[in-house]
């Protein structure tokens, strides 16, 4: 470690005097990194949304993940929580636990972190640094229009269930990164595998999509643990059920080369995609779909509890409220 954390923070995380300095610091930040607290002046008449996530090496990402991917993912999982509420990113703090003082690692980490932050008009305003097994905690906050946060509990019987993009690639990427289940992927080319690894390591938080759903979606969340598990949270919180048509699931590109059942299984249960799943009134769907060609309607909300998965041939799987009973 350097003489003090001070040097590390100064070199890699402070705005002045380092290559990744923000071109434009946010006007609402009164005091950023360097004092006991950061100070901001929030907009009047707005709500603030807060979220925090920790990524532990070997638990939330494989040990050999690049520093650029770790930074990207640590920030994206937080951005994605804001996206799911329809919030606009504003500030974040960073708690870093580092096994050693590796300048090349820190350089790549901070470059990737600031690059993504800048794209989202998001400013790092403080943090903490300590010594130990690699772990990254980011706490993010952002603006919500007053009482407009999209919650999990708002789904209504008759709503369309939709997702913002293709599913499943990150789960394949994880198998590839961990060098497991080779036999499932013999049809994939090198470029398919790269695509899947990229989906795992550089997921995109759907901030603009979340903002555009504000005032329209009745409920939403981001898909971090797989569609079945996450949609289950909406169903439980809203006291409703859902039925999905599996043929409508938007599958990620490499998945068209997989067996149908395997592709569906990955799209339904694979985590780490960070697309949004949301519900909205049937009458609002055509206009939303017209604005967002990448959104897909996959089913509808039902009074009957639990989740039912249909194919053209009929009912394929049935789950109770909460977890699912069986798959395949």
Look up tokens 């707005």; give the residue: 46
Does residue 94 bind ligand ADP (CB under 6 A)? yes
Through-space distance between the first and last CA atoms of the chain, rounded to whole angstroms? 51
CB of 120 closer than 8 Å to CB of 25: no
Residue choice 11, 15, 22, 34 for contact with ligand ADP (CB under 6 A): 34
Nearer to Mg ion, 66 or 93 (CB): 93
| Residue 128 beta carbon to ligand ADP: minimum distance, rounded to whole angstroms | 5
- Yes or no: say if 225 and 271 are a contact pair by the CB < 8 Å rule: yes
Q: Show the tokens assigned to 24.
A: 């434009």
Taking the complex as a whole, the smallest distance from the CB of residue 240 to ligand ADP amounts, in Å, to: 42
C-alpha distances in Å from residue 43, one per residue of 46, 146, 298: 6, 11, 37
User: Cα separation of 99 and 80, whole Å?
Assistant: 27
User: In the complex with ligand ADP, which residue's Cβ is closer, 91 or 295?
Assistant: 91
102 near Mg ion (CB under 5 A): no
Stretch that binds ligand ADP, among 126-134, 153-161, 202-210, 269-277 (CB under 6 A): 126-134
Beta-strand (E) ranges in the chain? Answer: 29-31, 39-40, 46-56, 88-98, 123-131, 135-145, 160-163, 219-222, 241-245, 276-280, 296-302, 306-311, 314-319
Rounded Cα–Cα distance for residues 118 and 234 (Å): 31
Nearer to ligand ADP, 5 or 88 (CB): 5
Residues near ligand ADP (CB under 6 A), total: 14
Among 7, 43, 119, 128, the residue binding Mg ion under the rule CB under 5 A is: 128
Closest approach of Cβ 128 to Mg ion, in Å? 4
* 3 is a contact residue toward ligand ADP (CB under 6 A): no
| Residue 306 interacting entry, from ligand ADP, Mg ion, none, C-beta within 5 to 8 Å by type | none
Contact of residue 162 among Mg ion, ligand ADP, none (CB under 5-8 Å per partner type): none
Q: Which of 102, 103, 128, 325 binds ligand ADP (CB under 6 A)?
A: 128
- Calpha distance 21→132 (Å, rounded): 27
Which segment (124-132, 167-175, 183-191, 282-290) binds Mg ion by CB under 5 A?
124-132
Report CA-CA distances (Å) from 55 to 72, 139, 315: 11, 12, 38
- Binds ligand ADP by CB under 6 A, chosen from 129, 252, 300, 302: 129
Does the footprint of Mg ion cover residue 1 (CB under 5 A)? Answer: no
Binders of Mg ion among residues 136 to 165 (CB under 5 A) are: none
**Complex with ligand ADP: residue 22 or 310, whichever CB lies closer:** 22
The least CB distance from residue 280 to Mg ion, in Å, is 43
CB of 167 within 8 A of CB of 273?
Answer: yes
Q: Which residue has the tokens 């249909």?
A: 310
Calculate the CA dihedral of residues 263, 268, 272, 277 and round it to 10 degrees: 130
Question: Under the criterion CB under 6 A, does residue 33 sit at the interface with ligand ADP?
Answer: yes
Contact residues for Mg ion, defined by CB under 5 A:
128
Contact residues for ligand ADP, defined by CB under 6 A:
5, 9, 13, 33-36, 94, 96, 124, 126-129
């Amino acid at each position: 470690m350097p003489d003090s954390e001070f040097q590390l923070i100064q070199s890699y995380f402070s705005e002045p005097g380092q290559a990744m300095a923000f071109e434009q610091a946010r006007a609402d930040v009164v005091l950023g990194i360097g004092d006991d607290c950061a100070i901001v002046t929030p907009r009047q008449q707005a709500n603030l949304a807060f979220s925090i996530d920790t990524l532990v090496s070997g638990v939330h990402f494989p040990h050999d993940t690049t520093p650029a991917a770790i930074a990207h993912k640590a920030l994206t999982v937080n951005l994605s929580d804001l996206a799911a509420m329809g919030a606009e990113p504003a500030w974040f703090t960073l708690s870093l636990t580092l096994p050693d003082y590796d300048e090349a690692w820190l350089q790549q980490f901070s470059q990737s972190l600031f690059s993504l932050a800048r794209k989202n008009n998001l400013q790092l305003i403080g943090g903490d640094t300590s010594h130990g097994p690699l772990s990254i905690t980011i706490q993010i906050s952002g603006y919500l229009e007053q009482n407009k946060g999209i919650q999990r509990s708002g789904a209504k019987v008759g709503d369309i269930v939709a997702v913002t993009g293709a599913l499943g690639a990150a789960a394949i990427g994880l198998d590839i990164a961990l060098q497991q289940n080779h036999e499932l992927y013999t049809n994939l080319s090198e470029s398919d595998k790269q695509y899947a690894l990229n989906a795992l390591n550089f997921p995109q938080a759907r901030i603009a999509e979340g903002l555009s759903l504000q005032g329209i979606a009745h409920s939403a969340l981001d898909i971090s643990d797989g569609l079945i598990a996450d949609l289950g949270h909406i169903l439980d919180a809203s006291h409703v059920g859902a039925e999905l048509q599996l043929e409508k699931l938007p599958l990620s590109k490499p998945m068209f080369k997989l067996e149908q059942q395997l592709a569906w299984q990955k799209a339904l249960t694979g985590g780490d995609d960070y697309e949004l799943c949301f519900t909205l009134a049937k009458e609002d769907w055509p206009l939303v779909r017209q604005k967002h060609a990448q959104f897909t309607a996959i089913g509808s909300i039902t009074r009957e509890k639990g989740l039912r998965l249909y194919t053209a041939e009929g009912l394929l799987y049935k789950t109770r409220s909460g977890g699912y009973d069986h798959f395949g």
